[in-house]
Every structure is written in structure tokens, then in C-alpha cells.
Structure 1
Amino acid sequence: MSDLAAYLGAAVLVALAAYAFAIERRGVRRPIRWAALAFALSEGCSLALLAPGTVALSHAGVDGLSVIALGDTVRTAALSFLMLLACLLTPHPAPRHSPVRQATVAIAVQLGMVLLFVAAQPTLDADDKLIAAPSGRWWLAIRVVLFAAYAVWALVELFLALLPSARIAPTGPLRWGVRLILAAVCVGVVWTLWSYDDFVRVLQVGRLDGSEDTVSNSLGALCATLAVAGALVGKWTETFGAAGRWVRLCRCYFAMGPLWSALHEAMPEIAFPPGGRPLLVGRPAGIEFAVYRRVIEIHDGRLVLRAYQDAAVSDWLSSESRSSDAALVEAATIAIALENMRLGRRSAAGDGIAAEANGEAGPGGAGPGSVGLIPTDLDSEVRWLSQVARAFRRSPVIPALLERLRQEADSDGRQLNRPA
């Protein structure tokens, strides 16, 4: 279980570092991101090096003391990168946040860790525990305290540097990302303070776990998971937003289908030449092209139908239904214009609307049956035409109006055919 937690945390951090490195190579290089990348990579490598399974390789001929020393060195370097990140994130840095001063402190801590390790003269027992020499027990204990103090200092500085961003981040996802990273910092403090038992054990029996125990590795895996989630929550939000937009555009595309089919059946010339199958591309650009092309084709059909619009649509709707929904009025106007076109009936108001569309002063003007487009941008227009298409397909009022129109057409035809 301890190995699983350690290697899982290491894999998560190394994967995050590789992902961040790929992004940095394509974009603008920022010192803050490079510091975070270096911390994630160093911490992930230290988790893997100090895992019990890695230290146990000493039984297969690997120098276990060298593995532990290397793991501690990499882990201390991770703390130095964390301190550098805190310095870069501080808006008004104090003198202690100077990168040069922090680099000096980092080098001093690294040298101190190495010298204390050598002074302790440790050895590995059969259980992969570090056993300090009789004269090196205090040196090993001081080494544990030095690392814990440096880690808590770096984590507190990072917490203080990130805390203002949790309140002033411009968007909700960014705020939640900062909060998750703050939670990871808090877990990191608990993870570091858990080493108090190592200090007590070294002073009592001169023995120290060469690798992290189960609790430490579990806290490390939790810290890594929270840090990765906080770093990626903004990117996930963009991905989910793009997927949600793709779903909405697909829904609008299919919602406009019945209206487009009715117009295309009456006027096949409104359809552009086929341009592939953009719905299967799986990218927002493909579905956007398909949706906007459908919008243009619907509008081309509506322009042709202007000469067949009936000015009495609003009056008919008032008699059939009390609804004054603009989408229903537009849908009814299109449906009646299509029926008039099928019957070959051009209206005087429709001729006036068509003349006005061509820049002429038609006698009928726009007419009460013509409903102008409400939206002013393409996305709003897509939503508007989707509402019109739903009303065109679902409203029970439109079939009643069409039946009334057919009855009037039959009555007019009988009167024309009656002998004088």
C-alpha cells in the first residue's frame, strides 16, 4: 500500500510536469510556470526514489544509502523550487523573498543536509532502516529538524503568496484552482510535521526509516493529487466549456432541421454545395460551420418567401390562440408563406415586403405578419431560429392555420369556377 501511494503520487506529479513542459514549449515562457514545473518534477522523483520498493533494491545489489541520499537531495531541491515559486508569486516581495538570497539559503541547506548525513555515518539494516553511528545520533536528528523547518517555511511562504489570489481571482474556476492548491499546501504542512516521530525515534534508538512510511506516502499522494487538480481545473473548465458548446450547437443544428427541410423541399436552390460531414469532425469549428451554414440557408429561404407572406397572420393567431410568442409568429409566418407558395398565391403585402427588401417602397410595408430577427449576433441568432423551428414543428396552432388557409383557397377557387 505504501509503495502504491508513493508511485501513484510520483506518476501524477511527473505527468503534470511533462504536460506543463509541453505547454511551455508552445507558449510564452514564464518563470512562475518553470518554477512550478521544476517543483513537480523534483517532488515526483523524490517520491519514487524514497518509496520502500526502491530502497528495497539494496538487497539486489543497489547502494541503498546512495538512493536515500539522492532522494533527500531531490526532495530538498523541490522545496527550494517551491520557495522560488512563493517569491515569484509575492506581489510586493520583502527582502527575504529575493531570489538571490533564497538561492543562497537553498545551497546552504543542501550542503547542510549532505554534511549532516555524512557526520551521522548511517548504515542500512535488514529492514532498510537507517542506523546512525553511536556518535552520529544527534547529527541525524538535527538533519530531520533542518529538513522539516525548511519545508514548513517554504510551504507557509507559498500559502501567504497564494492566499490573496483565492479572493481576487477573476473567475470561479481559477478561484477553485487556487483553493485546491492551498489545500495541497496545508496537506504538505501536515506531511512535513509527521516527521516528528522520526526525530523522536532517532534520539531514542538511533534508527530512522530509510523510506517514507505508509502515512507519509499517503499524505504525499493526497498532496500531489490536490496540487494537480488545482493546476488543471482551469484547463478542465475550458475543455468542458468547449464540449458543452459543441453539444449546444449540435442540439441547435438538429432543432433547426425540420424548418430547414421544409424550406429546402420547397426551394432546393437555397442549399449550398455539400462540404463534407462537419458534424463528425468532433471539433467546435466543424459544427459551427454546419450550424451557421444552415442559418444562412434558412434566411435565404425566408427572403424568397417574402412575396408569399400574409399580413393576416397576427390576426389569425389571435383568433386561434392567445399566445403572442414572437417565435410562434415567425414560425406561422413561414408556414403560411410556404403554403401560399405551394398554392401559387402571392399577397399584396408580400409583394410590398419583397419590394422593400429590394430597396423599393412597397405599398404594404413590412406588414404585421413579418417578424424581424430579434438577435444581433450569430449565437443569439442560432438560438432564435432554434426556437422558431421548435414552434414550427411542435405548435398545434400552425396546422389549424394551414387548414384554415386551405379552406379559404378552396372557397376562392369554387367562386372563380362558378358560371356567370
Structure 2
Amino acid sequence: MKDLLHPISLVVATLGFLCLLRDVPARRRDPASTALAAVFLLSGLSFLFSITPMWNYLDRVLGTVNLSVPLAQGCVVALLACQQVVLTYWGSSPDVARRRSRRWLGAGFAVIAGLLVLFALLTPSAPRPIDFTLYYAHDGWYAAYLTLYVTAYTIGELFLARACWRLARRSTRGSVRVGLRIVALGATVTLGYSAVRIGNVIAGAFDTSLADWEGFAWTCGDVGAMLTLIGWLVPTISDQAQSVQYRIKQYRCYYGLRPLWLAFYSEAPEIELPIDRVDRAQRRRFRRISIRLYRRAVEIRDGRFVIRRYLDAAVREASEAHHRARGLHGQDLSAAVTADQILAGIAARAEGTRPEPDQLTEFADSERQTSRPMDDIDALLDVARHLPRQPARAPHLERVSA
């Protein structure tokens, strides 16, 4: 059972670690993110050390029989401490979190040190990757070793389940609430593993065996661990999904603004911001879609400024009448009128004809409120949607200017 479930759990832990690793550089000053990445790394190592081929390989390379046991279980104790660090930083102030985190990490290292000492006192034997616990169940030192490990494991999982339920009730983010409840469920399931291991200690004292319960123990341990890892991943996956959606939106906005940008660039190419003098490192930054979108919006705003002196009130009035007749109103009306003003203003600048001072006007969408950066992009997109793919003068405006 162990060699069937551990590889699956190893894959889950590895994928989760790689998913979190993407955000670690950007959040290197966030102890919770670092501790959460450590949880997945340590979990993956614990499963890796326990798989029979790796167990036998470590025995040959390190020259110590069954060393995978303290290595794997030491990783488990460490990840239990790291999980508490994550919850402490999520639910407490930084100063309080730092103090509590030191206590949890200190307790974890103390337990690991105790496990290593007790393991060194065990009687050497042949490799036992499958039935290690059953084989050593009657050894007094192993009973002490298993008691220490199971006690730390059970306390860690109980604290984890309790803290996750409490923090989930306080969280305002839906993905965090769901993730923490899944973690709590996984921690509860792993208590089945604890129960069997406690039973191993008691059975050893009475010269009996719980061999028939080994499959149940590994199932509870692995299924609970997988649920815990999945629960920790839910907020991260939700954040990254939103980030991907936002980036896709940025790409769509960037290409959606192209007709509007081309309309200005065809008449006023000087709006294009030069980057030929920027060094290579900065030039790589300019290739990011967020910078490219911001740059395009700035260039369009510069283009609007260029033709602002060519906006004719008669053109605006005729455009408003035309689009009102089509049933447009509100922001749709102002965007359509602004698009007509842009085309007429570009044509007027190309011909060198400017309206009289008393005939000058503003863009129809000049009073639109844009409190956020993407609001400004949305306003420009509304105008771009009313432009033809190739810059051209609107037929009804030609009649007005004539």
C-alpha cells in the first residue's frame, strides 16, 4: 500500500512546490510564503525517502540500514512546524508571529534531535522498507522512538485542524476559507494513521501485532496528506488563476487598442515613445505586457492631446445627433462620438485646417470618471470599438464638414 500511495503523494507535493516556487522570489520577504513552500518540499522528501527503491538506495549509499525512517519522519515533523508558521503569520501580527514561529521551529528541531538519538540506539538489522514498524514493534527503544514521533505528529495535526477551522471562520477570502477547511479535513484524516501507530506501541507491550491495520494506516496518512497539500494550494491556485486572467485581459486590451493607436500613429508618429536608448535590462522590462499596455495607453493619450486643437463643435453635434438616432446613450454614446471626433480631428490636422476658437470643443468622453488604471484602458477600448480597422473619415462627418 505504501509504495502505491507514496508516489501519488510525491507527485502532488512536487507539483505544489513548483506552483509555489513561481511566487517565492516575488514574496521572499514573506515568511509565510517561504514556510508554505518548505511544507511542500519537506512533504515531497518524506514520501520520496519512504519509497522502497529510494529506501534501498539510501541504505547502500549511506551505509546505515533503514536511515530513511528518521529522514522521512524528520521531514514530517519539520513540515508540521512549518505549517504552524504559516498559520501563525496568517492569523497574528508580525511581532507575535515571529515569537510563536521560533517556538514551533524550536520544538520541531528538538523532536527531530530526539528521533535521531533514539534511532541510533536501535539494534542494527536488515533493510525493512515494507514492515519496519511491525519488525521493531517489540523493541523498547523503538517503542520510545515511535511514541515520541506519534505524539509530535498527533499534536501537530490536532493543532493544525483546530487552527485552520478557527482561521477559516475569520478569513474574508473565499479561496482561503475553502483551502483551510480542506487542510483541516486532511489533518483529521491523518489521525487514523496516528491511531494505528499508537496501537502498534500498545500491541508491542502485549506481544501482539496490528499487521492487518497497516493498509488502513498508510491510506489515512497519504490521503490526509494529499488533502492537506491540496488545501494549502487552493488560495495559491486561485491567486494565480486570477493573475492569468488579468494577464489575458491585458493582452486583449493591448490588441484591442491597436486600431485607435494606428489612427493616431498614421498622422502623428511622434507619439511613439522611443526605447532605443534604454539598456538591455530595461528593454526586457519593456517587453512585459503590463508595460506595453501602459505605454500604448500613454501614446494614445498623447495622440488625443495632439489633435485636441482640431476638435470642431459642429462635428460633435452632428455625431451626437447621428448616434442618438441609432439608439446609443450614456458611455456608448460618448465613446462613439469621441471616435468620430478623433477621425475628423486627424483628417483636419492632415489638411492643416483648424476650427475657429469659438468652435473648439472637448472630447465627448472627457468627463468620464476613471479612478483605476484599468478604468482608463476600458474607456479607450470603448472608443476603439467604434473605429474601423483602417483609419478613415466617417461618411456622415464628411457631409458636416462640407
TM-score when scaled to structure 2? 0.68
1:326 pairs with 317, 321, 334, which one?
Answer: 334
Tell me the CA shift for residue 383 of structure 1. 0.9
Paired residues in the alignment total 381
Give distance in 2, aligned partners of 1:382 and 1:402: 26
Contact 1:245 1:284 in 2 (8 A): no
1:47 alignment partner in structure 2: 47
The C-alpha deviation readout for 1:228-280, integer Å capped at 9, x for no partner, is 44444444444444433332233223223223333433x2355335547x899
Give distance in 2, aligned partners of 1:35 and 1:335: 56
What secondary structure, in the 3-state scheme, does the structure 2 residue paired with 1:163 have? helix
Alignment partner of 1:289 is 2:294: yes
Give distance in 2, aligned partners of 1:259 and 1:25: 34
CA-based RMSD of the aligned residues comes to 5.0
Tell me the CA shift for residue 299 of structure 1. 1.2
| Bigger CA radius of gyration | 1
Contact 1:2 1:213 in 2 (8 A): no
Matches within 5 A, 1:80-91: none
What secondary structure, in the 3-state scheme, does the structure 2 residue paired with 1:64 have? coil
Give distance in 2, aligned partners of 1:198 and 1:233: 35
Give distance in 2, aligned partners of 1:280 and 1:115: 54
- Return 74-83 or 235-244, whichever deviates more: 74-83
Contact 2:84 2:101 in 1 (8 A): no
1:352 alignment partner in structure 2: 358
The C-alpha deviation readout for 1:303-342, integer Å capped at 9, x for no partner, is 1422575253256326742323221222233344455666
Give distance in 2, aligned partners of 1:2 and 1:253: 51
Are residues 217 and 297 of structure 1, via their aligned partners in 2, closer, same or farther at CA, if it must alter by over 3 Å?
Answer: farther
1:357 alignment partner in structure 2: none
Are residues 264 and 4 of structure 1, via their aligned partners in 2, closer, same or farther at CA, if it must alter by over 3 Å?
Answer: same
Contact 1:313 1:333 in 2 (8 A): no
Alignment partner of 1:372 is 2:373: no
1:167 pairs with 166, 169, 178, which one?
Answer: 169
Give distance in 2, aligned partners of 1:321 and 1:216: 72
Are residues 68 and 272 of structure 1, via their aligned partners in 2, closer, same or farther at CA, if it must alter by over 3 Å?
Answer: closer
Are residues 404 and 81 of structure 1, via their aligned partners in 2, closer, same or farther at CA, if it must alter by over 3 Å?
Answer: closer
1:155 pairs with 138, 157, 176, which one?
Answer: 157
1:385 alignment partner in structure 2: 380
Tell me the CA shift for residue 84 of structure 1. 7.0
Tell me the CA shift for residue 115 of structure 1. 5.0
Matches within 5 A, 1:4-403: 5-7=5-7, 9-10=9-10, 13=13, 23=24, 27-28=28-29, 30=31, 40-56=40-56, 63-76=64-77, 78-79=79-80, 107=110, 111=114, 115=118, 123-124=125-126, 128-130=130-132, 136=138, 144=146, 147-195=149-197, 198=200, 219-265=220-266, 267-272=267-272, 274-275=274-275, 283-307=288-312, 310-313=315-318, 316-317=321-322, 320-324=325-329, 325-338=333-346, 347-348=355-356, 351-354=357-360, 366=361, 370-377=364-371, 378-393=373-388, 399=394, 401-402=396-397
Give distance in 2, aligned partners of 1:101 and 1:273: 54
Tell me the CA shift for residue 124 of structure 1. 4.7
Q: Show structure 2 runs of 5+ residues with no match.
A: 277-282
The C-alpha deviation readout for 1:284-313, integer Å capped at 9, x for no partner, is 443233322332243134414225752532
- Return 140-149 or 169-178, whichever deviates more: 140-149
Give distance in 1, aligned partners of 2:101 and 2:258: 63
TM-score when scaled to structure 1? 0.66
Tell me the CA shift for residue 384 of structure 1. 1.0
Give distance in 2, aligned partners of 1:66 and 1:185: 26
Tell me the CA shift for residue 386 of structure 1. 1.0
Kindly, what percent of the aligned residue pairs are identical?
16
What amino acid does structure 1 have at the position aligned with 2:358?
A: G
Tell me the CA shift for residue 155 of structure 1. 1.0
Give distance in 1, aligned partners of 2:69 and 2:345: 83
Tell me the CA shift for residue 388 of structure 1. 1.3
Give distance in 1, aligned partners of 2:234 and 2:40: 16
Tell me the CA shift for residue 64 of structure 1. 3.2
Tell me the CA shift for residue 382 of structure 1. 1.7
What amino acid does structure 2 have at the position aligned with 1:50?
A: S
